[in-house]
Protein backbone atom coordinates (compact mmCIF):
# COMPACT_ATOMS: atom_id res chain seq x y z
CA UNK A 1 0.00 0.00 0.00
CA UNK A 2 1.26 3.44 -0.91
CA UNK A 3 2.30 5.48 2.11
CA UNK A 4 2.56 9.24 2.12
CA UNK A 5 4.33 10.94 5.00
CA UNK A 6 4.38 14.65 5.74
CA UNK A 7 6.95 16.32 7.92
CA UNK A 8 6.66 18.31 10.09
CA UNK A 9 3.21 17.56 11.46
CA UNK A 10 2.93 21.07 12.81
CA UNK A 11 4.82 24.31 12.34
CA UNK A 12 4.53 27.70 14.05
CA UNK A 13 6.59 30.56 12.67
CA UNK A 14 6.72 34.34 12.75
CA UNK A 15 5.56 36.26 9.74
CA UNK A 16 8.11 36.70 6.96
CA UNK A 17 9.92 33.39 7.26
CA UNK A 18 10.56 31.13 4.31
CA UNK A 19 9.14 27.68 4.92
CA UNK A 20 9.77 24.15 3.75
CA UNK A 21 7.10 21.46 3.98
CA UNK A 22 8.05 17.91 3.10
CA UNK A 23 6.10 15.05 1.59
CA UNK A 24 7.57 11.60 1.01
CA UNK A 25 6.08 8.62 -0.76
CA UNK A 26 7.05 4.98 -1.06
CA UNK A 27 6.18 4.20 -4.68
CA UNK A 28 8.32 5.70 -7.44
CA UNK A 29 5.69 4.90 -10.10
CA UNK A 30 3.96 8.25 -9.89
CA UNK A 31 1.52 10.00 -12.17
CA UNK A 32 1.36 13.25 -10.30
CA UNK A 33 1.58 14.86 -6.92
CA UNK A 34 -0.77 17.58 -5.80
CA UNK A 35 -0.51 20.01 -2.90
CA UNK A 36 -3.66 21.25 -1.21
CA UNK A 37 -4.53 23.76 1.44
CA UNK A 38 -7.29 23.14 3.94
CA UNK A 39 -8.69 25.84 6.18
CA UNK A 40 -10.52 24.78 9.35
CA UNK A 41 -13.94 23.38 8.58
CA UNK A 42 -13.45 23.75 4.86
CA UNK A 43 -12.74 21.54 1.88
CA UNK A 44 -9.42 21.24 0.09
CA UNK A 45 -8.13 23.96 -2.21
CA UNK A 46 -5.65 22.90 -4.86
CA UNK A 47 -2.36 24.81 -4.78
CA UNK A 48 -0.01 23.10 -7.20
CA UNK A 49 -0.06 19.98 -9.38
CA UNK A 50 3.19 18.40 -10.53
CA UNK A 51 3.04 15.77 -13.25
CA UNK A 52 5.56 12.95 -13.16
CA UNK A 53 7.47 14.47 -16.09
CA UNK A 54 7.94 17.77 -14.26
CA UNK A 55 10.48 18.79 -11.64
CA UNK A 56 8.68 21.75 -10.14
CA UNK A 57 5.72 24.09 -10.31
CA UNK A 58 5.42 27.67 -9.11
CA UNK A 59 2.49 29.86 -8.20
CA UNK A 60 3.17 33.21 -6.60
CA UNK A 61 5.02 32.66 -3.33
CA UNK A 62 4.62 28.90 -3.60
CA UNK A 63 7.03 26.50 -5.25
CA UNK A 64 6.66 22.74 -5.27
CA UNK A 65 9.38 20.36 -6.39
CA UNK A 66 9.27 16.67 -7.19
CA UNK A 67 12.15 14.21 -6.90
CA UNK A 68 10.91 10.81 -8.00
CA UNK A 69 14.18 9.03 -7.35
CA UNK A 70 14.14 9.92 -3.68
CA UNK A 71 10.38 9.75 -3.34
CA UNK A 72 10.00 13.30 -2.14
CA UNK A 73 8.13 16.48 -2.86
CA UNK A 74 8.80 19.79 -1.15
CA UNK A 75 6.54 22.80 -0.86
CA UNK A 76 8.34 26.09 -0.37
CA UNK A 77 6.43 29.07 0.96
CA UNK A 78 8.30 32.33 0.60
CA UNK A 79 7.80 35.30 2.91
CA UNK A 80 5.06 33.64 4.93
CA UNK A 81 2.00 35.64 5.98
CA UNK A 82 -0.65 35.08 8.67
CA UNK A 83 -3.10 34.29 5.87
CA UNK A 84 -1.00 31.26 5.02
CA UNK A 85 -2.09 29.62 8.26
CA UNK A 86 -3.85 26.37 7.33
CA UNK A 87 -3.22 22.66 6.98
CA UNK A 88 -1.21 21.69 3.93
CA UNK A 89 -1.82 18.27 2.43
CA UNK A 90 0.01 16.43 -0.30
CA UNK A 91 -1.63 13.73 -2.41
CA UNK A 92 0.21 11.12 -4.43
CA UNK A 93 -1.42 9.64 -7.47
CA UNK A 94 -0.06 6.56 -9.18
CA UNK A 95 -1.13 3.32 -10.77
CA UNK A 96 -2.96 1.03 -8.45
CA UNK A 97 -4.38 -2.40 -8.66
CA UNK A 98 -7.36 -2.76 -10.96
CA UNK A 99 -6.26 0.13 -13.14
CA UNK A 100 -7.64 2.84 -10.94
CA UNK A 101 -5.53 5.78 -9.86
CA UNK A 102 -6.43 6.53 -6.32
CA UNK A 103 -4.90 9.66 -4.80
CA UNK A 104 -3.35 8.88 -1.42
CA UNK A 105 -3.03 11.67 1.11
CA UNK A 106 -0.58 12.41 3.84
CA UNK A 107 -1.84 13.53 7.25
CA UNK A 108 -0.90 17.11 6.58
CA UNK A 109 1.26 19.84 8.07
CA UNK A 110 -0.59 22.27 10.29
CA UNK A 111 0.93 25.71 9.79
CA UNK A 112 0.48 28.76 11.98
CA UNK A 113 2.07 32.04 10.91
CA UNK A 114 1.83 34.62 13.67
CA UNK A 115 2.20 38.37 13.16
Residues near another protein, by CB under 8 A: 4, 6, 31-32, 34, 36, 41-46, 49, 51, 89, 93, 96, 98-108
If the CB atoms of residues 50 and 77 are measured against another protein, the closer one turns out to be 50
* Nearest residue (CB) to another protein, 79 versus 101: 101
**Smallest separation (angstroms) from another protein to the CB of 57:** 11
The alpha carbon dihedral of 82, 83, 87, 93 has a sign of: negative
Q: C-alpha distances in angstroms, 91 versus 14, 18, 40, 49?
A: 27, 22, 18, 9
In this structure, the number of other CB atoms found within 10 A of the CB of residue 103 comes to: 17
Cβ closest to another protein, residue 43 vs residue 83:
43
Amino acid sequence: KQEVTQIPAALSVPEGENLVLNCSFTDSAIYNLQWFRQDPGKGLTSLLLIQSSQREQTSGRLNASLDKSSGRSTLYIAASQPGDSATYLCAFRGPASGGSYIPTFGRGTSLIVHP
